[in-house]
Amino acid sequence: MFEAQMAQAALLKQIIESIRELITEATFEVSGTGMMLQAMDSSHVSLVALNLRSDGFQLFRADRPFSMGMNLNHMAKMLKCAGKDDTLTMRADEANDLVTFLFESPGNERLAEFELKLMDITSENLGIPDAEYSATVSMPSAEFQRIVKDLGSIGDTVEITVTKDDVRFAASGDIGNATIKCRQLLDTEKPEDRTLIEMVEPVNLTFALRYLINFSKATSLAPSVTIKLSTEMPVVVEYKLSDIGYVRFYLAPKIED
């Protein structure tokens, strides 16, 4: 038996909306520690890792580890039916291949029950090493989204360079070139407005912009985003979900042969 209750159905809806274009099918692994999902996109260039800790739920019960394979577009269809302030309860048991989503209005006057068919998904899990990164940049998530969208109109790839003074995003294409330079900014009223650059050694990496633009669909989930880079390693783009976990996106770099 698995049962979990979230104060805001809208949170899970937003999470699924932010990843469903990248991964259409995925298996949620449920255990006493929470709900986790790891999946590669169809081209096997990027990876999504979602972690929702059990202590971030209002109620969480998982008698034993349990896998729930879901089509995320179908899941999104159902979650869209939740009211803005509805609570969400998820229920599933191993006896039937269904997960139930219960949407309850704040005054308990409306209770909607949606049952989603579970599916068997063959996927391979990758072991992500706990690496030290050469550079870590935290910046407002809206700023990162603007940068990747703006550069996406100029070129297909972005070259990200981190030095101790700034982080540069550069793109070039048929119509010309663009460089956006962000300096460290610590003296802000709100902590989420800061741009923080932690550099062990300078890095310079090239990535396909369309994936980064896709990752930035998660912007509404967190006011700030953390970007971790090491030479010739996948970049990590992390959105922290307050009090419950994170969504991390990994993207393999483009490397000269």
**Which residue, among 89, 90, 83, has the nearest Cα to 106 in the 3D structure?**
83
Least distance from another protein to the Cβ atom of residue 218, Å: 18
DSSP secondary structure string for all residues of 167-188: EEEEEEETTEEEEEEEE-B---
Least CB distance to another protein at residue 237 (A): 13
Tell me the Cα Rg of the chain. Answer: 20
Q: How far is the CB of 132 from another protein (least distance, A)?
A: 15
> What is the distance, to the nearest Å, from the Cα of residue 171 to the centroid of all Cα atoms in its chain?
24
Beta strand pairing call for 2-6 and 87-92: antiparallel
- Positions touching another protein (CB under 8 A) are 40, 44-47, 124-129, 157, 206, 208, 233-234, 250-257
Among 210, 223, 221, CA closest to 245: 221
Measured from the CB atom, the residue of 44 and 117 that comes closer to another protein is 44
Q: Which is nearer to another protein, 97 or 156 (by Cβ)?
A: 156
Return the number of the residue (100 or 206) whose C-beta is nearest another protein.
206
**What is the smallest separation between the CB atom of 236 and another protein, expressed in angstroms?**
11
Q: How far is the CB of 67 from another protein (least distance, A)?
A: 14
Q: Which amino acid is at 157?
A: T
Q: Residue 82 has what DSSP assignment?
A: S
Comparison of 37 and 99: residue with beta carbon closer to another protein: 37
Q: Could you tell me the smallest distance in angstroms from the CB atom of residue 195 to another protein? A: 27
- Nearest one of 101, 99, 60 to 80, comparing CA atoms: 101
Task: Kindly state the tokens that stand for 24.
Answer: 């259409």
The residue among 43 and 242 lying less far from another protein, judged by its C-beta, is 43
Instruction: Decide whether 59 or 126 has the Cβ nearer to another protein.
Output: 126
Instruction: For residue 205, give the H/E element and its range.
Output: strand 203-208
CA distances from 98 to 4, 103, 144, 184 (A): 15, 16, 38, 48
Task: Compute the distance between CA of residue 69 and CA of residue 225 in angstroms, rounded to an integer.
Answer: 28
